[in-house]
Structure 1
Amino acid sequence: MTSNSRPHTVVMTGASRGIGWAAAESILRLDPTARLVTIGRGPGPSHSRATHVRADLRSVAQTAAAVDSIARRIVAKELPPLDVVVGNAGVQCATNCSETEDGYETTFAVTVVANHLVVRGFADALDRPARVVITVSDTHFGDVRHNLGMVPGPRWVPPDRLARVRAFADPESVRAGRTAYSTNKLAAIHLVHALARVLPAGVDVVSFNPGFVPGTGLARDAGFVSRSAMVWLLPVLAVTPIASTAAQAGRALADVALGVIATRSGDYVDRRTVTRSSDESYDRQREDELWAFLNDGRVRGYGRKNAKIRP
């Protein structure tokens, strides 16, 4: 899939700041045929070809309602055919105690549940060939090379435990919040692998790792010291090979979404390079358990009935 010569719709979450904002601007600039629809609490870039649907992605009902409203507009031909979905929304909580209205731990709700609902809700509406991109993180490797020692590595627990607060030791600590972050980013890769097996032919789904991008607002729920480091000290690292600016990462995300960077379904893209994710991320049993959890009725609000990717 490459950028289109005819009008088409790109749906994107997490476009209100940082990497997502830069990616949204790049998509609109690089592809004059793209109609961008953003979902989230805040809008993406203001543009004549951009539309925003407000929804709190921590909420199953609001996420499903937003997807449903967009899908209906596509079916009614009020929007061009949909062929790109970008799940870029992310959150890093200060503890492992933040719970949503649906009873899910917040990081899991945004990183896993919302992405699942968005992809599942749009599966029938996708015009093939189509591409789904989910933003993940190299913190899922759990080593100093990939996370600079700032984020603990993932500690996998069964999905029904990961989905709840207090899944990790000392849950009120920043360490537990960061462990939840890296573990949920690992879960997002498991979700991508599961989706690659069940989405219909012609719909590719890939993981995108932007690398270390300081100053994006991801740690806005962290303490003062951590926030200050991210905003003032760590951006210095953006001029080194270990980090990227939001503009660089956003352009790479746009290129993956538009097919400028060639991929196959299930691939992991590290900034601009297709490579392997961690060995731990290739675990079929975990992927099946996560898929079963997300599809056994405990996660509600699928929106339009979807026959193509029933479990």
Structure 2
Amino acid sequence: MTARGQNGERLTEDLTNATGNPNVTAISCDLASLAEIGTAANEVRRRVDAQELPPLKGFLGNAGLQMTSRTHATVDGYETTFAVNVLANYYFVRLLWNHFTTPARITMVGSDTHFGDLRHNLGMVPAPRWESTRQLAMPREGSQAHSVAEGRTAYSTSKLAVTYLVHALARRLPDGVDVYTFNPGYVPGTGLVRDAGPVIRALSRTLLHGLRATPLALSPTTAGNLLADAAGGSTPGDSGTYIDRRKVAASAPESYDREREEELWAAAAELCALPAEPTSCADDLSDTFYESRLE
């Protein structure tokens, strides 16, 4: 797994103690930095090639951010929500492309906020607002950009983009490497709203926390078990499928748009300075390339 800074050491110890499995390792990586993603992916490839890790059988993109504005930028100059929720997944998979051993499964965590209706988001998150990928990747200025609503719109839009990315990947991945979107629904208690104000944080710990006793929400433990099953259980369906908690379902009608999917794919390649399409060796890039992005 990857984690920021020294968090990986703590998580490795926690997981080893909780499961009794000593085969847990971590690599430091801040997903808000393309250079760090590149270095981490290079280290994964090195360890796999050296047989320090077993063959790479999958990828789980679980990290996600929800900000209270659309003004934050990463070290690369990209809007933070879009960079972490979308570009990080894209970049990691591209850099590991030639190291997956079939059968393999890629699972990316989506959100039913991408539906943009009351039924799916309880009115807490505005509907996605699609723009070109380059526009979505840029932080904004002005009073509207500083609003909580704009930050949450960036979140729901990023989760729509995750579904587009999964569809684009499903058309490109080699036979035997499947990709899925997993929607855990509303899961209070994960720290997703840590950037929110004190009132929302308090509600998440109290009133909204209570929703876990209803069908409207899941506990982190239940959601985690379902995610683990989606990532490593029985084959859920055709590659590109949307998994809604315990079952395969259709994602939002807006999420089936091949033109947007292909625009996202092409623009993400440009934003990450990668060739438009994977080849047998084009994505095996050195640490020098990643480090040069910071100069």
User: Does TM, normalized by the shorter one, top 0.5?
Assistant: yes
Say yes or no: does 1:282 pair with 2:256: yes
Q: CA RMSD in A?
A: 2.0
What corresponds to 1:307 in structure 2? 279
Q: Distance in 2 between matches of 1:308 and 1:268?
A: 28
TM-score by structure 1 length?
0.83
2:74–2:80: 8 Å Cα contact kept in structure 1?
Answer: yes
Q: Match for 1:300: what amino acid?
A: A
TM-score by structure 2 length?
0.88
* SS across alignment from 1:233: coil
> Deviation per CA, 1:228-275, whole angstroms, max 9, x where unpaired?
111222110001011111111100000011133522210000001101
Q: Match for 1:40: what amino acid?
A: A
Q: Distance in 2 between matches of 1:154 and 1:310?
A: 34
Say yes or no: does 1:164 pair with 2:127: no
Q: Match for 1:136: what amino acid?
A: G
The alpha-carbon deviation at position 50 of structure 1 amounts to 0.6
What corresponds to 2:293 in structure 1? none
Describe the shift of the 1:87–1:290 C-alpha distance in structure 2 as closer, same or farther (beyond 3 A).
same
Q: Distance in 2 between matches of 1:150 and 1:49?
A: 39
> Deviation per CA, 1:255-302, whole angstroms, max 9, x where unpaired?
011133522210000001101000000000000100010123x31379
What corresponds to 1:106 in structure 2? 80
What corresponds to 1:185 in structure 2? 159
> Which ranges of structure 2 fall in alignment gaps of 5 or more residues?
17-21, 284-295
Equivalences for residues 20-31 of structure 1 within 5 A? none
What corresponds to 1:39 in structure 2? 2
Q: Match for 1:39: what amino acid?
A: T
> Deviation per CA, 1:195-224, whole angstroms, max 9, x where unpaired?
000111110000000011011101111111
> Which ranges of structure 1 fall in alignment gaps of 5 or more residues?
1-37
* SS across alignment from 2:106: strand
Q: Which moved more, 1:176-185 or 1:162-171?
A: 162-171
Q: Which moved more, 1:219-228 or 1:86-95?
A: 219-228
Equivalences for residues 114-133 of structure 1 within 5 A? 114-133=88-107
Q: Match for 1:160: what amino acid?
A: R
Q: Distance in 2 between matches of 1:82 and 1:215?
A: 31
1:132–1:257: 8 Å Cα contact kept in structure 2?
Answer: yes
Q: Distance in 1 between matches of 2:165 and 2:142?
A: 21
* SS across alignment from 1:83: strand
> Deviation per CA, 1:127-172, whole angstroms, max 9, x where unpaired?
1010000001000000010000000010111101000112898110
Q: Distance in 1 between matches of 2:142 and 2:135?
A: 9
Q: Match for 2:2: what amino acid?
A: I
> Deviation per CA, 1:85-120, whole angstroms, max 9, x where unpaired?
100000101101011110100001101110001111
Question: Which aligned segments of 4 or more residues in structure 1 are displaced greater than 4 angstroms?
Answer: 308-311
Q: Distance in 1 between matches of 2:215 and 2:274?
A: 42
What corresponds to 1:236 in structure 2? 210
* SS across alignment from 1:198: coil
The total of aligned residue pairs comes to 271
Q: Distance in 1 between matches of 2:251 and 2:102?
A: 26
1:123–1:309: 8 Å Cα contact kept in structure 2?
Answer: no
